[in-house]
Amino acid sequence: MNYVLTNGIFHTEEGPVNGHIIIEEKQIAGINPGEYTGPLECHDLSGHHVLPGFIDIHIHGGYGEDFMDADLMGLHHLSQSLLREGTTSYLATTMTQSEEAIKTALTTLKEYHKQQSEEEAEMLGIHLEGPYISEFKVGAQNPQFVQRPSIDSIHDLQTAADQLIKIITFAPEVEGAAEVLAEFHDKVIFSMGHTVAGFDDINQAASNGARHITHLYNASTPFAHRQPGAFGAAWTNDRLSTEVIVDGIHSHPAAVNIAYRLKGPEQFLLITDAMRAKGMIDGTYDLGGQDVIVKNNSARLADGTLAGSILKMNDGLKNLMAYTKRDIDELWRVTSLNQAKALGIDDTKGSIKPGKDADLVVLSPDCNVLMTIKKGHIHHFN
């Protein structure tokens, strides 16, 4: 599986390279300007943009599937489908449900992780969104199953998941939160969300090891000039990276632009927070045991509460370019490199560099996915 991608604009950490890259044995072997003149098979990219494959660290499902279904065949279908939007890696994200349902999902994800194919988007691990959240900011989570965190409960869930839990979304103000943060902050990423914590509480948790904000602007305390809230802490604390759902529905485009200006290209992480209706027609779908009505590109509970998104990663990047008026050579980092660095896997993923996995996406000027490459395997979508 050795070949060359030629006549592309390859966006690297050092800047764009107009030329070709050599793929050898599932990895990037070389990046060079100009034309390729060697013996390997060439794939002409017609001058299109080439980015590292997208890494979605907060996704509940899509294409009719949900990680809480605990369905191995469904997981394969979802992972194959994610390649269509340029996503080559992801964290399977769970919901606030019963302990039994969560453990069943974790056990199934553990089994899937052992058998996943190199020709599918790669499950890197698990994002546990809840149940350790505030009952006062549940959003579309089920308040019936909100729990208080404990060291024993996290040990139990990690055992069920075979240590695959990489991110835990939690409310830092609830009972038990400080203890689990102290115990596990160097083992998993604690991301603050679904919380009523104020500015000082968020900053204190960041000082104690919390590193992220879950879907900034949603299900947390807003900014006011005398009470800066979670938003103000997220904007101004350099210890904190911020997830943002860039669909134009969860947050106003101007609010997205503000977050990007304040966090910059190193601490802004584009996510989808997508649920099973992504890639499907409008209708009613299940999310965590609750009906979600999908209409006009939004997913909501019957009372109007936003319930995840139907956003695709390539569309999120297209939106971010429009909202911030920045170009793709600056913004590609928020779809891959920042996520790889956060997860500690930037030695193999997250940028186009010799020695890294051949996980790539080829985009048209309007961010349509033309080709996705996973571990060197080429998938055409034009």
Give the residues across from 377 on adjacent strands: 374
Sign of the alpha-carbon dihedral angle for 69, 281, 57, 192: negative
Query: Strand 165-170 relative to strand 189-192: parallel, antiparallel, unpaired?
Result: parallel
Contacts 24+ apart (CB under 8 A), 280-286: 280/63, 280/64, 280/310, 286/66
Backbone angles phi, psi at 228, to 5 degrees: -65, -20
Contact 317, 279 (CB under 8 A): no
Residue 273 designated active-site: yes
CA distance 277 to 252: 22
Asked whether the bond before 131 is cis by omega within 30 degrees of 0, the reply is yes
**Given 273, 315, 357, 359, the catalytic residue:** 273
CA distance 257 to 268: 11
Burial 11-32 (b: 16+ CB within 10 A, else e): bbeeebbebbbbbbebbbeebe
Residues with catalytic function: 273
